[in-house]
Amino acid sequence: MSRLLQPLTLRGTTFAHRVWVSPMCQYSCDPVAAPGVPGDWHLVHYGSLAVGGAALVLTEAAAVVPEGRISPHDAGLWNEEQERAWARVVAFVHSQGAAAGVQLAHAGRKASTHRPWAPVQGSVPVEEGGWPTVAPSALAHGDLAVPAALDADGVAGVVSAFADAARRAERAGFDVVELHAAHGYLLHQFLSPLSNRRTDGYGGDLAGRSRLLLEVLDAVRAAWPDDKPVFVRVSTSDWAEGGWDVEECVQLARLLAEHGADLVDASSGGNVPEQRIPVGPGYQVPNAGRLKRGAGLPVGAVGLILDPLQAEQVLVSGDADAVLLARPLLSDPRWPQRAAVALHDTGAVAWPAQYVRATREDVPLSTPR
């Protein structure tokens, strides 16, 4: 059996193998008729990834409060209508034998922006459906609107909102929650000295800058069933001078393990426009390996992992315990099934009965049925 296609158990949840869907924003909710509510697009999108054989389907960032959305078209999990809509998606994902996870998020100063394919970019004005943004400090991200610095009540509200969203995720049937502390969104903004200039207990040294994330993790862990895992997505580096780096991230990962995190999902970048990222195949894997070896908890690797043999090597080398795929699954939702063939381990990935005729073990495709 290949390493990539071996089961992995975290707490009381066993994933059939280690090919997982990375969270990918879809920007496809109706911001007027049903703000934050996943619809048919989400059912078909996530359903196709489950049909394709992924062991874990992680959703896009689901905002824990309305003002935490990246764009007005983002999904959320701050009310019961959204909870019911997600339950529909989860039920189908489960029907295909996959686990379902939700990424809980707050975009902070990168909120209230136009979705990527809009004819204009930047912040959405309030009169056009946008809203004022918040952050650890009143520092804008590039040309986006200047956010308001969160006060003590605002910080406490963020913690409560994440915990409430976790409770809704449990009722919707999710198997995993992932806290989004990467890509320059609110929890990452607190971690990085480039975006956090606070002088209170939530700024300064690593203990202060990581305080909000650890409080959120504690609150979510208390609200979430003990037998279900909590993941944390981190940016291992800002890729900018004076910013958050992998050395501090290793220290953070140790703290996350102490506070009940079950896996660190290791990404990078996103916090400042001046970042310089050395993009290439598997470019984030070395930092994932540093977290795994330095923190002693399971790690997921992501970022231009394109080929089944490449993914297998990431795990064989000990750099990660699972791989999370994004764009490769958009172009080929059946990547996990293809990987099973490439790694000569076809029994490890489920095929829907309706599609079994396409496998090599079945009768020739020319045989009429």
- Tokens 């996350």 belong to 256
Establish if 363 belongs to a structural domain.
no
pLDDT (0 to 100) of residue 1: 76
Sites in the chain below the pLDDT cut of 70 = 360-369
Could you say which DSSP state residue 346 is in?
G
CB 307, CB 339: distance < 8 Å: no
Label the pairing between strands 56-63 and 99-105: parallel
pTM of the predicted protein model: 0.95
Annotated catalytic residues are: 185
Per the CB < 8 A criterion, the answer to whether 202 and 211 are in contact is yes
d(CA 11, CA 27): 32
Taking alpha carbons only, the member of 133, 27, 128 closest to residue 75 is: 27
* Residue 225 domain flag: yes
Report how many domains make up the chain.
1
Q: Is residue 318 part of a domain?
A: yes
Would 2 be classed as within a structural domain? Answer: no
In this predicted structure, what is the pLDDT of residue 346?
81
Question: Would you say residue 3 lies in a domain?
Answer: no
**Per-residue model confidence (pLDDT) at position 359:** 72
Domain span including residue 245: 8-358
**Whole-number Å distance between alpha carbons of 164 and 159:** 9
Pull the structure tokens for residue 300. 């997921």
Q: 357: Cβ–Cβ under 8 A, 6 or more apart, which residues?
A: 363, 365, 369
Q: Is residue 1 part of a domain?
A: no
Q: Any idea what DSSP says for residue 125?
A: P
* CATH number of the domain where residue 73 is located: 3.20.20.70
pLDDT at 193: 98
Q: Is residue 317 part of a domain?
A: yes
Which single residue is written with the structure tokens 């297998």?
A: 312
Q: Exposure string (b/e) for 41-50, b if CB count within 10 Å is 16 or more?
A: ebbebbbebb
The per-residue pLDDT for 33 is 97
